[in-house]
A and B are shown apart, each in its own frame.
Chain A
Amino acid sequence: MSTPWVEKYRPKKLDEVSAQSNVIRVLSNQLKSANMPHLLFYGPPGTGKTSTILAMARELFGPQLMKSRVLELNASDERGISIVRDKVKNFARLSVTNPTPEDKENYPCPPYKLIILDEADSMTFDAQSALRRIMENYSHITRFCIICNYITRIIDPITSRCSKFRFSPLNSANSLATLKMISQSEELDIDDDSLTQILDISNGDLRKSINFLQTGHKLFGEDSIENIAGLIPQNLVQSLIETLQSKNLNKIYEFLYMLVLKSYNSATILTSLHSCLLLKNIYLNSEQKIEVSRILYETDSKLSSGSDEFIQMLNLFLQLSKIF
């Protein structure tokens, strides 16, 4: 049976979670004192949120007691207001079961249950409001852990009842250590250079890096890593900018048509232009840069309301060409 490495190497204990040292330090202390507030984890994908709470639950209760003390609900479960009122509430009000003497010896087994609401960004505001009363009424026997990517999607009355933990994108040093550990235990023949490349394209998403390590490394021989990751190769960005500078509208049109046929998507193009024109480029003066960022912003906003990529990118390119 093939287990994906992201599952095989998912941290089993809190101290196996890498990088999020502040978060882990605080949580470990709470583990020792067995005194825990409601928790709220937020941060981008693949930074260890789900892994951390699952590891913590296991360390708190042990694999046996976990079954009766922990309720995990994620976006794939029905989580409308009625489920919050019934299922969540019913679990929250249950009195806590007694641990076996054996469990008691090996784990802290604090006298409360844990309700994990993973991927809570997708819960409706109504369902969230229904939640806040439950959090208050049963806090003597129940703790909540709410997990999301965007903290702004969680209503204030809930965030204010929780200790908040931000999971940041992993830095290269930490991720590199994890990738090296995995390559060693899988007996991979891969050099540090390739590992660093993997980290470069993953933007601090350790899940992505591990997936790349497992499936991508075999493909490196076939194609450039940028291509495998779906990024626009640097030389293509360069010739895009040269084309824009030429101010030859038909050439610009043809260039866009080519990008579309190659399936380079608008979000990637916007990011590349942003980093190239605003972060790196030294030829533009500040007025020009302000204009560039205004146009990028307008395009991004139009795209996020679902408008046509070709039309919006064409407009973007033409407007940019005016600036040069």
Chain B
Amino acid sequence: MSLWADKYRPKTLDDLDYHGKISNMLSSLATSGDFPHLLFHGPSGAGKKTRILATLRQIYGPNIEKLKVDPKVFVTATKRKLEFNVVSSPNHLEITPSDMNNNDRVVIQDLLKEVAQTETIDFTHVADHKNRFKVVIINEAELLTRDAQAALRRTMEKYSANIRLVLVCNSISSIIEPIKSRTLLIRVAAPTDEEMGSVFEKVLRDQPEVAKSFPADETERQQIYSKIAKVTDHNLRTGLLLLEALYSYNPSITTKTPMIMPDWENVIKKLAIGIVTERTVSKLQQSRTDLYELISHSIPAKLILKKLTIEFWRLVDEDSKIKDKDTVKMDIVQQASIFDERLSLGSKDIFHLEGFITKVMVVLEKNVS
């Protein structure tokens, strides 16, 4: 039994549910013979990867699904051995920089040169003979080191006869200008409430048994879908996982059914409530335990800070004892922006998180009646 998120993943451009304009664009690029280097960007779970694979399928046919995973061993300049996996089909391959630590420049260069020099690529299945190139997908492109990005520049020009790069990232802020100059940017927005809803509806239509657990009324169902969209930040993948989890935990689901949240988010919620209601030194000490707990479960400090800020925002709105809500919110966000920068520059996460909490307590203390 595969997860709904996998089972209902569209395979072709025609099957894709939303962003029809982008699908049409990709389809015309795939058939035109002028396929450029691409840079896909958009929030997690917006459907970037699905669109890329569907585009490749249009170019190469079902061959693209014959995936194999090869372990590659690579010897770094300092003679250390580095092992990682390369996913590939006869017509494309995929790499993920975080697999290779700081050696991404050398590894990517080596792989690209290898691909460019292999002439034996099988193109007999390629529908359109103009597209005689191999595609290299680079996931998490924002994590590429600057060196690795620089190394791609001339490579993208020199090997343009037989390689096309497809870079995938959440934000293009850390992609260097020369790379943007060499790629066509494709912006994939997160699906709206309704767009997520229509995907969920399709899942229910396909499984009448499942549909029985959901309200018969369409607007009530859409209310549930909107709640899912909200708590998953419009991430369709986690949205589908949540929909499936709701179904398996509840015999019947109504608009009142509580959403299932990951533990760490609940910990942060409670932490935030504690801080807003009790602004004391002993509370600060208790918070430290929670923070250590979160960090030891490898929740990134920046994510903790961001989620805390969002929670504070909400709690300030709800708390009738807090005066001058606008000033309080502005001050909290300003502190967040300062400590967020310190998190990027410093190395002891816990110091900066505690510093932030202390400042928030001070801001609140001044404005509580």
Contact = CB atoms under 8 A, between A and B. Distances in A.
B185 A318 contact: no
A44 B306 CA distance: 35
B181 A207 contact: yes
Interface stretch (A34-42, A190-198, A221-229): A221-229
B334 A265 contact: no
Which of A46, A219, A309: most chain B Cβ within 10 A? A219
Contacts of A218: 28-29, 32, 34
Interface string B30-41: 001111100001
B343 A262 contact: no
A229 B25 CA distance: 13
B340 A303 contact: no
A104 to B, nearest CB: 30
Interface string B178-220: 1011101101111000000000000000000000000000000
Given A2-B34, A261-B189, A263-B43, A311 B173 contact: no
Interface in A1-44: 1-4, 6-7, 44
B341 A44 contact: no
B317 interface: yes
A229 B333 contact: no
Contacts, number: 176
A122 B144 CA distance: 14
A318 B188 CA distance: 27
Interface string A198-228: 0000000101100110111011001100011
B225 interface: no
Interface stretch (B9-17, B148-156, B237-245, B287-295): B148-156
A101 interface: no
A308 B184 CA distance: 25
Interface stretch (B50-58, B94-102, B128-136, B260-268): B128-136
Given A7-B161, A122-B151, 16 more contacts: A44-B177, A46-B181, A75-B151, A78-B106, A119-B150, A122-B147, A211-B182, A211-B184, A215-B34, A215-B35, A249-B325, A260-B43, A263-B43, A263-B46, A265-B171, A308-B302
Interface of B: 21, 24-25, 28-29, 32-36, 41-43, 46, 77, 106, 109, 130-133, 146-147, 150-155, 157, 160-161, 171-174, 177-178, 180-182, 184-185, 187-190, 233-234, 302, 305-306, 309, 313, 317, 325-326, 329-330, 333-334, 336-337, 340-341, 343-345
8 contacts: A1-B132, A4-B34, A6-B157, A6-B160, A7-B157, A76-B154, A228-B25, A312-B337
